[in-house]
């Protein structure tokens, strides 16, 4: 496992993924104490005032708005930011805005690249809360929230996509992938959340693991599970 993990890290070019995919085993097998998912304690540090403002809202949303809303774990949010940073994302398309938590992680990158986030949400109340969170973080100028049934509204997307993030209805992942995959640029990534076997749609899993245009890896499978499919050049 160590060898394959190193290959993933080399492809990503970012050691930040080490806590997720590289778990070297000492002689005699793994030794676990405390939380088995914790390898090293890592905290996202703000590079400047722009990041500081966004991270403060991320922390607030994670602390006060997680209950009752569909929000990715913090470690998955950091993973989203890391992949977006690795590909130099300028256009992120997100299915499932919720209250804007994962979108804020993407905005840490998009604010620096001059990019934008197009995010789709079916619930009007959650979209309204997300809009407030984006405004508080100072990123509302780069975020477009599209309200309605995303299976129809995604047809509005015409521009190339650097990162496509799927975190809406799980049985809809295949439809979203089929409609938006042609817009994902070579070197771009399709990231899907809730990809453990009990939650993932087998049709979508087959689509991303048998398509020769993509290289797919699975991360954080001891938690909610995340698939990352890199579109080949």
pLDDT digits 0-9 by tens, 152-207: 999 999 999 999 999 999 999 999 999 999 999 999 999 999 999 999 999 999 99
Q: Any bridge partners for residue 120, and if so which? A: 95, 146
> Distance (Å, rounded) from C-alpha 40 to C-alpha 93?
31
pLDDT digits 0-9 by tens, 192-228: 999 999 999 999 999 999 999 999 999 999 999 999 9
pTM of the model: 0.84
DSSP string computed for the chain? -HHHHHHHHHHHT-GGGHHHH--PPPTTS----S-TT-SS---PPPSSHHHHHHHHHHHHHHHHS-TTS----HHHHHHHHHHHHHTT-SEEEEE--TTSHHHHHHHHHHHHHT-EEEEEES-HHHHHHHHHHHHHHT-GGGEEEEES-HHHHGGG--S-EEEEEE-S-GGGHHHHHHHHGGGEEEEEEEEEE--STTTS-HHHHHHHHS-TTEEEEEE-TTTT-EEEEEEP-
pLDDT digits 0-9 by tens, 20-40: 343 333 344 444 444 555 678
The per-residue pLDDT for 68 is 86
């Amino acid at each position: 496992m160590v060898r394959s993990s190193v290959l993933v890290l080399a492809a990503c070019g970012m050691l930040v993924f080490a806590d997720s995919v590289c778990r070297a085993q000492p002689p005699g097998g793994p030794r676990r104490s405390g939380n088995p998912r914790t390898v090293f304690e890592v905290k996202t540090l703000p590079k400047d005032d722009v990041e500081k403002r966004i991270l403060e809202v991320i922390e607030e949303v994670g602390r006060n708005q997680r209950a009752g809303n569909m929000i990715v774990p913090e470690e998955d949010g950091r993973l989203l930011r890391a992949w977006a940073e690795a590909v130099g994302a300028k256009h992120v398309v997100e299915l499932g805005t919720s209250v804007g938590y994962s979108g804020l992680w993407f905005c840490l990158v998009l604010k620096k690249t001059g990019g934008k986030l197009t995010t789709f949400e079916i619930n009007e109340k959650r979209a309204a809360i997300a809009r407030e969170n984006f405004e508080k973080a100072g990123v509302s100028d780069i975020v477009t929230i599209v309200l309605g049934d995303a299976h129809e509204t995604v047809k509005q997307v015409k521009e190339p996509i650097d990162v496509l993030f799927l975190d809406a209805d799980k049985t809809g992942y295949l439809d979203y992938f089929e409609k938006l995959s042609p817009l994902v640029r070579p070197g771009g990534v399709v990231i899907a959340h809730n990809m453990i076997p009990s939650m993932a749609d087998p049709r979508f899993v087959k689509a991303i693991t048998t398509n020769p245009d993509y290289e797919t890896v699975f991360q954080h499978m001891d938690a909610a599970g995340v698939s990352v499919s890199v579109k080949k050049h």
